[in-house]
Each structure stands twice: as C-alpha cells, then as structure tokens.
C-alpha cells in the first residue's frame, strides 16, 4: 500500500517551491532595477556633460546651470547711464516731484543758492543701471530701450572689469529694444536661439545685474508664451517665473542649451519688486530690431489700422461663434490698410496667413512680426459666416488720420436703456452721422458698463439708427448682445447679457 503524503509536508513543499520562485523573480527584478538605474545615471551624466535637456520623462531633466553661467556670463554686461532732468523748486524747497522735499540737494539749493527764496529750477543728475549682452565680437550690445532712455552718457562694464563708453546706435520704444556699440574686438558673445523653438515648461536662466549686483544668476521655467501686455507694444512676451528685479532689464534669458531666447524687460508687481511674474521680449523680435538698427539706424513697424478687443463668451453668443476666440475689430482707421481691405467694426478676425488668432493680442503680435508693404490674408467672421480679405500692411510711422466716425444708433427694451436719435448739433459734435444717445442706463446694460452719454452705434455688428432697428435686432438675440458704443473719442464693444 502506497504511503500517503502528510498534509503538513505537502504544504511545506509547496511553500518552499513558492519561496524559491519568489527568490528567482526577486533576483531578476533586482538585476533589472540595477540595470535601469545604471542607464538613468549614464543618461544623466551624458546630458549634463553635453548641456542638452533629457527626454521629458521623470524628474531628472535638469540642465547644468553652472555650465550655462560659466560659458555665457562673460558676454553679459552691466550698463550704467547718466542723464539729467530739470526740476523746479519754490521758497519752501518743494520741487516738481513728490520726492524733492526729502532730497538734501534741494535743501542745499534753497538755503545757499537761492537765499531770497525765489522760484527757480536746477538740472538734477539722474543715474540708472541695467544689463545687456554682446551679440557681436566687435562690440555690438543688445539691451532695453528704457535702460538708455534720456541718457547723456552710457557706460558698459565687462566681467573682466574693463569699462567702455558706449554709443547708442538706435532705440525702438515700441519693442523696448536698444542697440549699443563699444570700441572693442574679440569679445565673448552669446548664441541666439532659433525661432519658435521654445516650449512652455522649459527651464530658463537669467543673468543680469539686479540692484547693481553684477553677474547674478536666477532660474525658473517658461510660464506662458505670447502674452499681451497693456503697453501698446504689440510684443508677444515670454512669461516666466524667473526672479527679475530692477537692474535685470536688458539682460539675456537663456534656454537649457545656453541660447538666448529672450530679453528680460518687465515684471508684474504690486510692490515694485519681483512677485513671480516676469516678461521677456522674444529674441526673434529683438533680433529683427537689431538688424534694422545696424543697417539703417531706424526701425519700421507694420500696421493694419484697427483696434481690437477680446472675444469673451458673451461676444461669442452675440455673434453666434462656436468658441470665444479671435480678435474683435472695435474700430477701423479711415483710409488705413484695414479700411482699404474692407474690414469693418464688428468683424472677428480668426486667422492671419493661416495662423490662428486665439486671443485679441495675437493679431497685433502677428502684424508686428511683418514688414510694411507685406500682403496678408485675414480669415474673419462676419454676419454669421466666414470670409477672407487680403490687406497690404502700412507703416506705423505714418500719421493717423483719426478715428473712424462712421456710426450707427441703438435702442431699449430688455437692455434697460433710454435712447433717442442724435440731433444735428450732436452729430457734428460727436463726428457720427447716425446714432442713438443713451439718456439713461439701468438693468443689464448699466451692469455691463453702458453709461449715460454713450452713443450706441451698432448691435452685434449691425449699425442702428432708429429704435425700430434696435427692437428688430433684440428680437433676434437670445443670450446676449454686443453693443458698439462711442464714448468720448473711443469706440468700444460692450457685451450685455439679456434676461
């Protein structure tokens, strides 16, 4: 009779086999983990040695900031400027500005230079600091226009402590770029990045002289691209969280490969110091200015001749757009390129030369990247359908002929407006041939921002000249309407939600 295996022994044998299998798997896993760690270490060593970013997997894609600073630091310069401003003071020592009363210079002038206490004025020296970077070995330097604005003397200090008097070759306030020249040869210079290679989230590095501290290095990431700021510059700024402070202006912003991708220009601050929002001018914009200044000493900018507003959801509902995207044309300069091409107030520009316009700032930024005389194709939304127009860009330096005064009026009802047609004298005074004067505003219209004294010109892009037209257009609207009003000399669109 065959002996039966005891249950306890069977269990132990199975357990032993299971433990053996686990041991084999664990050994294999440990070997694989060791190999993976070795591969990661090798990749990290190679990336740091070659100063190239690692693939975007994991949290090890860190550039070698010390290498970037060592290679590029000698090409970053400190800029000091000297100028003067004429400031008046009276017998009490009060100057033209609020700070003059606390300035010991004014007390000196008051007591010893002006003993009779008569009103006078003095040239007061003004000094400032900024940064810049060498873009040509023969001494061409790029910086911000506001760094050298009004300067009577510009001095450039290199990292080897040599100092040079610089000549301002040219300055472009519209882009805030200035080009300097010093008499030197065989200077270290930076490499400029290729166009449109920057990605949101990339590591970036700034070198400059914040508060006069030379060769200061700060780092962060690209927070956003194509930012429009309310400064009438039409520059698609690069937003970062790199620490930028007074004195950093004009300094370079580097990518992880040590290439300049921007010129540090502005910060957003409620205190005057860095608060996590800094902005740089894209290097392709700055380099375009440099080429023009070096060649001719001046800079030409293209213009379309329109003012635009953001398209929010209320406007999208009013114009029956599928999404709140595009640049809403609020005003067209008479006789300008847009006027000649047939653009109208109320058009929503969706693309230029096939490149999408998402926010209103995208249109002036794209126009700013073109040259006067260029032909552009605009895809736009008008009266519920898409259409295309071709425009020839003008020169921004040409004098503006004045705002477009061709107008149209509006009405009441669900809007909460009391309206009446403009009288002949009011038409002459406002410069519009037709329109409805807002005598009173309450309800939805007042909440949206319509004010007494505004002149209603159009609803949803349709000119209005009578209360009947207003009622007709309101009857066709559901969620909201876009009112084009004239306020003073400005035309603005105001979205008003109905009901």
Residues tagged active-site: 146, 176, 249
Q: Cα(390)–Cα(431) distance, rounded to whole angstroms? A: 29
Residue labelled with tokens 């999404």: 323
161: left (phi over 0), alpha (psi -120 to 50) or beta: left
What does the alpha-carbon distance between residue 235 and residue 248 come to, in Å, rounded to a whole number?
19
C-beta of residue 130 within 8 angstroms of C-beta of residue 249: yes
Residue 383 DSSP label: T
Q: Tell me which residue of 149, 169, 156, 262 sits closest to 207, measured CA to CA.
A: 262
Collapsed DSSP state (helix, strand, coil) of residue 499: coil
Distance CA 244, CA 264 (A): 8
Where are the alpha helices (H) located in 51-144, listed in sequence order? 65-72, 104-108
DSSP H or E stretch at residue 15 = helix 7-50
Q: What are phi and psi of 5, to 5 degrees?
A: -75, 130
Supply the DSSP symbol for 446: H
On the CB side of 206, CA atoms within 13 Å amount to 32
* SS3 at position 426: helix
- Taking the C-alpha atoms of residue 212 and residue 475, their distance in angstroms, rounded to an integer, is 64
> Which structure tokens are listed for 492?
């603005």
Non-local (6+) Cβ contacts of 312 within 8 A are 324, 495
Length of the chain: 499
CA distance 233 to 281: 10
Residues 329, 337 contacting (CB under 8 angstroms): no
Torsion of CA 372, 373, 374, 375, to 10 degrees: 130
What does the alpha-carbon distance between residue 356 and residue 233 come to, in Å, rounded to a whole number?
A: 20
Residue pair 194/262 in contact by the 8 Å Cβ criterion: no
């Amino acid at each position: 009779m065959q002996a039966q295996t005891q249950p306890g022994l069977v269990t132990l044998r199975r357990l032993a086999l299971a433990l053996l299998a686990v041991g084999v798997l664990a050994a294999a896993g440990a070997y694989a983990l060791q190999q993976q760690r070795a591969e990661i270490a090798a990749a990290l060593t190679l990336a740091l040695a070659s100063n190239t970013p690692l693939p975007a997997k994991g949290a090890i894609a860190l550039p070698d900031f010390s290498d970037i600073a060592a290679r590029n630091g000698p090409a970053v310069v400190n800029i000091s400027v000297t100028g003067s401003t004429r400031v008046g003071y009276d017998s009490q020592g009060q100057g033209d500005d609020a700070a003059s009363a606390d300035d010991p210079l004014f007390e000196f002038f008051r007591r010893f230079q002006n003993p009779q206490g008569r009103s006078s004025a003095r040239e007061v020296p003004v000094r400032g600091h900024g940064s810049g970077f060498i873009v040509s070995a023969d001494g061409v330097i790029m910086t911000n226009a506001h760094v050298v604005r009004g300067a009577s003397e510009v001095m450039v200090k290199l990292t080897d402590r040599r100092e040079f008097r610089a000549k301002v070759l040219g300055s472009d306030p519209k882009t805030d770029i200035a080009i300097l020249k010093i008499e030197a040869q065989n200077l270290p210079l930076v490499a400029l990045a290729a166009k449109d290679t920057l990605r949101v989230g990339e590591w970036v590095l700034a070198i400059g002289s914040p508060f006069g501290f030379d060769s200061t290095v700060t780092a962060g990431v690209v927070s956003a691209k194509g930012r429009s700021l309310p400064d009438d510059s039409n520059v698609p700024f690069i937003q970062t969280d790199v620490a930028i402070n007074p004195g950093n202006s004009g300094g370079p912003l580097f990518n992880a490969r040590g290439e300049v991708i921007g010129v540090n220009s502005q910060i957003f601050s409620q205190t005057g110091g860095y608060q996590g929002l800094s902005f740089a001018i894209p290097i392709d914009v700055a380099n375009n200015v440099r080429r023009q200044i070096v060649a001719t000493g001046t800079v030409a900018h293209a213009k379309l001749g329109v003012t635009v507003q953001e398209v929010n959801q209320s406007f999208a509902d009013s114009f029956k757009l599928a999404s709140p995207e595009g640049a809403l044309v609020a005003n067209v300069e008479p006789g300008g390129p847009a006027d000649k091409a047939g653009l109208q107030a109320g058009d929503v520009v969706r693309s230029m030369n096939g490149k999408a316009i998402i926010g209103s700032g995208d249109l002036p930024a794209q126009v700013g990247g073109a040259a006067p005389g260029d032909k552009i194709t605009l895809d736009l939304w008008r009266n519920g359908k898409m259409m295309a127009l071709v425009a020839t860009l003008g020169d921004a330096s040409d004098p503006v002929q004045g705002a477009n005064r061709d107008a149209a009026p509006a009405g009441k009802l669900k809007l909460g407006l009391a309206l009446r047609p403009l009288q002949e004298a009011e038409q002459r005074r406002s410069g519009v041939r037709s329109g409805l004067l807002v005598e009173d505003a309450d309800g939805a219209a007042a909440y949206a921002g319509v004010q007494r004294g505004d002149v209603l010109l159009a609803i949803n892009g349709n000119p209005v000249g009578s209360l009947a037209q207003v009622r007709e257009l309101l009857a066709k609207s559901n969620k909201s309407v876009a009112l084009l009003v004239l306020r003073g000399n400005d035309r603005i669109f105001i979205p008003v939600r109905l009901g």
